[in-house]
Amino acid sequence: MAHAVRIHDYGGPEALSWDVVEVGDPGPGEARIRQTAIGLNYIDVYHRTGLYKLADLPAIIGMEGAGVVEALGDGVSDLKIGDRVAYAGVLGGYAVERLIPADRLVKIPNTIDDTTAASIMLQGMTVRYLLRETYPCTAETVLLFHAAAGGVGLIACQWAKAMGATMIGTVGSDEKAQLAKENGCRHVINYQTEEFVERVRQITGGEGCNVVYDSIGKDTFPASLDCLKPKGMWVSFGNASGPVPPFDMDLLSLKGSLFATRPSLMTYTARRADLLSNAGELFDMVAKGAIKIPVSCTYALKDVGQAHRDLEARKTTGSIVLLP
Ligand code: NDP
């Protein structure tokens, strides 16, 4: 038995319940890990509210963590007890101990501590696939990235800078603007006080961007489309303000023969080989100092309700880690 945070029904932060649950022994292909740090991500809010429906309730939410292997089921050959491991995208993270399919675990290099690992796996691999695969950015790329001072955003600032790309970031306050700049974002727009479409047009000399990475959803639609060059790509990868409403595909034609995609980290890391190469590239970026992870907020796991309140109130910057 061990402590975990479950939801018994969808709802506000008060739905997060500090429970004692049975953990059990790992079955074939599984590992049991004792977690040392747990990553908090916006998808946890979607799971809590029911925007993304879960298969069963009650459920332990949380999609990311780091810890130590405590026990292994039959058929797991590439891990041993005591290994430091991390994962992203496997439900059940808000727990002191958990079972997990061993093929979803990645060994943490010695150069990276557990708190850092728990804060980069999901957000860092997301930035990697967005900038390297969904729209492969180069030094010639001009990209707009919303919420540039958030968990995903601050990593994007640094990764885009390392690629030599020109990143325009939007943020909700002047303090966040400063932070995004310090992390390498070339141009920053405070979209609470400035018209971001107009500012993007000014910054790009009227041309627009090659790609817009939009995790805000409802509030930035369809304005994000107006920030693109003809044949540009709109990458809609989140719903912090609510989902994008259904729209007529003709809109993409009218706005300049645009491309649109709605990607998910789960697809980009579904095969083990992709998971390992994605994580490996991320760890390399951290090891060589190109990406420095500012874990701006830590909370005790049992105080996760407050962490959700702060995240939804846009009070946080950078990654958030829960300590069991
Ligand atoms: P963040 O730390 O970026 O927090 C969300 C930020 O969104 C806020 O800080 C705020 O920044 C901005 N925001 C704008 N409007 C709202 C609103 N109405 N309510 C709340 N926040 C708002 O979170 P994460 O780094 O965890 O995730 C960022 C986004 O990326 C999320 O939408 C998430 O779902 C998405 N994501 C998608 C993945 C995928 O594979 N598809 C994987 C990982 C994350 P500001 O005040 O500056 O506007």
Specify the pLDDT at position 58.
98
Q: How far, in Å, is the centroid of ligand 1 from the Cα of 169?
A: 13
Residues 247 and 146 in one domain: yes
**In the 8-state DSSP scheme, what is residue 150?**
B
Instruction: For residue 310, give the 3-state DSSP assignment.
Output: helix
- pLDDT given at position 110: 96
Check whether 296 has a pLDDT greater than 80.
no
The answer on 153 and 93 residing in a single domain is no
Whether 240 maps to a domain, the answer reads yes
Where does residue 81 rank: exposed (0-12), middle (13-18), buried (19+ CB within 10 A)? exposed
Number of Cβ within 10 Å of residue 141's Cβ equals 18
The answer, yes or no, to whether any atom of ligand 1 lies below 6 A from the CB of 177, is no
What's the gap in Å between 255 CA and the centre of ligand 1? 25
- What tens digit of pLDDT does each residue of 267-287 get? 999 999 999 999 999 999 999
Considering the domain architecture, whether residues 96 and 151 belong to the same structural domain is answered as: no
Which tokens hold the place of 39?
């990553």
Please report which confidence band the pLDDT of residue 294 belongs to, taking 50, 70 and 90 as the band edges. Answer: confident
Q: Is 294 helix (H, G, I), strand (E, B) or coil?
A: coil
For residue 183, pLDDT over 80 is answered with yes
Residue 6 within any structural domain of the chain = yes
Q: Whole domain around residue 242: which residue ranges?
A: 139-262
pTM (2 d.p.): 0.98
254 within a domain of the structure (yes/no):
yes
Is residue 115 located within the same domain as residue 143?
no
Between the alpha carbon of residue 185 and those of residues 137, 196, 225, the distances in Å are 15, 15, 21
54 plus 110 within the same structural domain: yes
Q: Using the predicted structure, report yes or no on whether residue 295 has a pLDDT greater than 80.
A: no
Looking at ligand 1, which atom is closest to the CA of residue 176?
A: 47
Residue 136 has a pLDDT of 98
Average pLDDT, the chain: 97
Peptide bond into 246 cis (omega under 30): no
Q: What's the sign of the alpha-carbon dihedral 164, 168, 170, 176?
A: positive
- Which ligand 1 atom is the nearest neighbour of the CA of 262? 41
Query: Domain of 14: which CATH number?
Result: 3.90.180.10
- Domain CATH for 230: 3.40.50.720
pLDDT tens sequence across 132-176: 999 999 999 999 999 999 999 999 999 999 999 999 999 999 999
Residues contacting 288, CB < 8 A, separation 6+: none
Count of domains forming the chain? 2
Residue 49 resides in a domain: yes
Across the strands, what pairs with 87?
65
Model confidence at 1, pLDDT cuts 50, 70, 90, reads very high
Residue 175 and residue 113 share a domain:
no
- Mean pLDDT, residues 232-244: 98
Q: What one-character-per-residue DSSP string does 178-244 give?
A: HHHHHTT-SEEEETTTS-HHHHHHHHTTT--EEEEEE-S-GGGTTGGGGGEEEEEEEEE---TT-PP
Q: Is the peptide bond before 109 cis (omega within 30 degrees of 0)?
A: no
Kindly report the protein residue whose alpha carbon is nearest to atom 8 of ligand 1: 314
Do 97 and 197 lie in one domain? The reply is no
For the segment 299-314, the average pLDDT, to the nearest whole number, is 98
